[in-house]
């Protein structure tokens, strides 16, 4: 019960940014577009960190 309320509180900033961007007509990436963008940055970093610290 308590953690369900936290998910609503945690989503409030996301919805605020989304509504501001929609109001200003700024195009936001879709979920899969964001996954491709973030994966292209984070996956190489994860491999580098794994190689450096977990050999």
Q: What is the 3-state secondary structure (H, E, C) of the chain?
A: CHHHHHHHHHHHHHHHHHHHHHHCCCCCCCHHHHHHHHHHHHHHHHHHHHHHHCC
Instruction: Please tell me the total number of residues recorded for the chain in this structure.
Output: 55
In this predicted structure, the answer to whether residue 2 has a pLDDT above a threshold of 80 is no
pLDDT tens string 5-53: 777 778 888 889 999 999 999 998 888 999 999 999 999 999 999 999 9
Q: What is the pTM of this model?
A: 0.54
Give me the pLDDT at residue 1, please.
62
């Amino acid at each position: 019960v308590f953690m369900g309320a936290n998910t609503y509180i945690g989503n409030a900033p996301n919805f605020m940014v989304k509504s501001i961007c929609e109001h200003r007509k700024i195009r936001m990436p879709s979920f899969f577009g964001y996954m491709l963008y973030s994966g292209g940055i984070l996956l190489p970093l994860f491999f580098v960190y794994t190689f450096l610290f977990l050999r």
